[in-house]
Amino acid sequence: MVPLALLAVAAALLWIASRMTWVTLESSDGLTQPRTDRLNGGVWFGALTPLALVLLASIAAVLATRGWFRRLIGVLLALVGAVTAVPPFALLTNSGKLAERAATLAELPGRAQVEQASSSSVAAVIALLGAIGAFVAGVLLARMSSSTSRMSGKYDNPVSRRAAASRQVADQQASGAAEAPQPLSERVLWDALDAGTDPTEDGAAGRTDDPKTSS
């Protein structure tokens, strides 16, 4: 559950950062009043909001997968986190031509002169923390064992779950007089009943808990 929590927090941080002002640009053209443009994260880094949505969607993908496919998702998430960290890191380290990029994004007229361009370290730090969270979540998923099962059976498709329960009951009944058979959980028994399989047939009631009596 740690990678899922990190993905949720990272998505929230990226969304918050996309609404905050990253760069404030002051300019004048000598004809009109001085102009102030405030560029938020969605303008300065256009992919910020879509990446937050990608992180949210990846939570469902992680819950629905396992094995090598889940590890592949982890690798992709780590790459997303690394790419997302570049713009805020560049802003914090004053890399690149801040004023020129801000003038372009603000669509200043050609005669305008940039008086001052200042960046917001708070917004950049929030975005960077979100990127780091996504990267760490991706690394944890990529390192997860291939034998790890799905996160929880409650997320399984009901039809698939009932079919699996029916197979477990059938295997249990087919074991006949086998010694110390593995007991089935109450949930499996109820799912088997919903699928039309009677767990009490062929002596299964003597080897498993009857969901009718256990409730």
The pLDDT, as a whole number, for residue 51 is 93
Q: How confident is the prediction for the chain on average, in pLDDT? A: 78
**Span of 168-172, 191-195, 199-203, 210-214 with lowest mean pLDDT:** 210-214
pLDDT band at residue 167 using 50, 70 and 90 as cut-offs: low
Mean pLDDT of the 3-9 span: 93
User: Can you read off the two tokens belonging to residue 177?
Assistant: 């007089």
Beta strands in 96-210 (DSSP E): 113-119
Q: What CA–CA distance (Å, rounded) separates 29 from 49?
A: 33
Work out whether the CA dihedral 66, 72, 73, 77 comes out positive or negative: positive
Q: What CA–CA distance (Å, rounded) separates 10 from 135?
A: 9
Q: What CA–CA distance (Å, rounded) separates 79 from 142?
A: 11
Q: Quote the pTM value.
A: 0.63
Distances (CA, A) of 32 to 27, 29, 35, 116, 165: 10, 6, 8, 17, 75
pLDDT at 215 over 50: no
Using one digit for the tens of pLDDT, what is the confidence trace for 56-98?
999 998 888 888 888 899 999 999 999 999 999 999 988 878 8
Report how far apart the first and last C-alpha atoms of the chain are (Å, whole number). 30
The pairing of strands 21-28 and 113-119 is: antiparallel
Give CA torsion, residues 55, 146, 158, 194, to 10 deg.
Answer: -160
Using one digit for the tens of pLDDT, what is the confidence trace for 11-65?
999 999 999 999 988 888 777 788 888 998 989 998 899 999 999 999 998 888 8
Most confident of 108-112, 117-121, 209-213: 117-121
Q: What CA–CA distance (Å, rounded) separates 120 from 19?
A: 12
pLDDT at 203 over 50: no
Q: What CA–CA distance (Å, rounded) separates 135 from 3?
A: 10
